[in-house]
Amino acid sequence: MNKITINFKNAVAKYRVFLKWAFISTFVGVVVGLIGTAFHYVIELSVEFRHENQWVLFLLPVAGIIIVLTYKLLKMENDLGTNLVFLAIHKNEKISIKTAPLIFIGTVLTHLCGGSSGREGAALQIGASISSSFSKIFRLDEKDKKIITMCGMSACFAAVFGTPITAIVFAMEVFSVGVMYYAALLPCTISAILAFEISKFFGVSEPHYSLLNIPDFSVLPTLKTIALAIACAMLGIVFCIILKKTGKLYKKIFKNNLVRIIAGGVFVIALTFIVGNYSYNGAGMSVIENAIKGEARPEAFILKIIFTALTLGAGYKGGEIVPVFFTGATFGNTFGGLLGLSPSFGAGIGLCSLFCAVTNCPLTSIMLSIELFGIESLPLFVIAIAISYMLSGYYGLYSSQRIMYSKTKTEFIDTNSI
């Protein structure tokens, strides 16, 4: 009788937790989904305006001044960006609600005026900032605050980029490499899918691409794919080093935040005119699409890294993920073609492999490959992602990311990414 009573109480407790998170994650999904959808459209409008009025590139230093002054006005000069979200999970650091409007405005200004950045990194900050502020409303403890923060991240990522399964897995996988927070699976699933459906309702399209001339899963194409994955792992290390070193160099040369961001704007303007086109300003989604269609300039991946480092290192806002997609797709197109792979297929492999190399998230990368490209060539994508994950070492975009287990041994190491 006592055992029956205990089991009944346990069952009731589980259903209470289920109902609690079903309600909270629904609330987060709806609110963050609406804000994420708005963010998507404002970014799209700013990009469209820049394409029609290319003179706004000259306003990039002015945009930088506005970004620095707004952060200073709200006393957020030392904001750590996406790394603060990691610290909120690892060390219960507080994420200010002020982060959401600041990164929203800063990212829009950066895209409007031609800075090279993405929007998914900003989406993670917006979602985490908004959802973590709800923890007081729902009277959540420190452990549940982590789950609601992940809910917001997955919801905003899904709304902005349109890949809900990738968003769910990424929110659970990215913080501690080798350990996934499965307690957040249901909450992240509900919030991400709801946010995704809301964005679809308002007309945000799902990104799905068709790769051309996909090779058979046989020995020679597999060897070529392995070679491309090895190259992407090395490129991932280079990408992370350049971005981090550029930021440190900026701070060493330009001590003042205002001077630093103005200088960065001038550098981006000058480099744009040296290159002679605007393909490297903004996120560059059109270049990614062309690379997947089989068209890319051989120097594109190098230039995108430089443009992104000059932009983000100076203090402009946005994120690194779409520039990673740009770099991976154009590199895969070029190097894959040299290896004898279809440039289109190489672009797909390069995009997902480089994403894995810089985020240390192999499961997320596999989900990304499925949502973007389907399952026709899934075995080759899985092989490429696995190789890229192992050979990229412990480098990563986010310095606060924890590497819990070794990539080569069943060994607990618990160290920060490089």
Which CATH architecture fits 2-201? Answer: Orthogonal Bundle (1.10)
> Rounded to an integer, what distance in angstroms lies between the CA atom of residue 89 and that of residue 173?
12
Element (H, E) at 177: strand 176-177
Q: Does the structure show a pLDDT above 60 at 1? A: no
Share of the chain above pLDDT 90, in %: 83
**What would the pLDDT profile of 41-73 be if each residue is shown by its tens digit?**
999 999 999 999 999 999 999 999 999 999 999
The predicted-structure confidence for 14-25, as pLDDT tens digits, reads as follows: 889 999 999 999
Task: Say which amino acid occupies 284.
Answer: G
CB 140 within 8 A of CB 148: yes
Give the pLDDT score at 253.
96
Planar angle of CA 151, 155, 156, nearest 5 degrees: 120
Confidence at residue 371, expressed as pLDDT on a 0 to 100 scale: 97
Backbone angles phi, psi at 97, to 5 degrees: -65, -20
Residue 26: C-alpha distances to residues 10, 21, 98 (Å)? 24, 8, 23
In the chain, the amino acid numbered 24 is: I
**pLDDT at position 4:** 59
Architecture of the domain made up of 219-416: Orthogonal Bundle (1.10)
Q: Are strands 412-416 and 402-405 parallel, antiparallel or unpaired?
A: antiparallel
**What's the pLDDT tens digit per position in 264-322?**
999 999 999 999 989 999 999 999 999 999 999 999 999 999 999 999 999 999 989 99
d(CA 161, CA 167) in angstroms, rounded, equals 9
CA gap 300, 325 in Å, rounded: 12
What pLDDT is attached to residue 119?
Answer: 87
Cα distance between residue 156 and residue 317, in whole Å: 17
How large is the C-alpha radius of gyration of the chain?
A: 21
Q: Per the structure block, which two tokens stand in for 211?
A: 């790769």
Mean pLDDT, to the nearest integer, of 80-100?
A: 84
Place of tokens 């605050």: 145
User: Residue 5 has what pLDDT?
Assistant: 60
* Amino acid in the structure at residue 100: A
In the chain, domain spans: 2-201, 219-416
What rounded mean pLDDT belongs to the chain? Answer: 94
The helix (H) or strand (E) run that includes residue 402 is: strand 402-405
What is residue 89's predicted lDDT score, i.e. its pLDDT? 84
Whole-number Å distance between alpha carbons of 146 and 22: 16
The pLDDT confidence band at residue 3, using thresholds 50, 70 and 90, is low
Q: What is the pLDDT of residues 354-400, one digit of tens each?
A: 999 999 999 999 999 999 999 999 999 999 999 999 999 999 999 88
Angstrom distance (rounded) from CA 361 to CA 208: 20
State the Cα angle at 73 between 71 and 76, rounded to 5°.
40
- The residue-averaged pLDDT of 106-115 equals 97
Say yes or no: do domains 2-201 and 219-416 share a fold.
yes
Report the residue count for the chain. 418
SS (H, E, C) 48-98: HHHHHCHHHHHHHHHHHHHHHHHHHHCCCCCCCCHHHHHHHHHHCCCCCCC
Q: How confident is the model at residue 2 (pLDDT cuts 50, 70, 90)?
A: low
Cα dihedral across residues 233, 235, 236, 237: positive or negative: positive
Which residue has better confidence, 38 or 15? Answer: 38
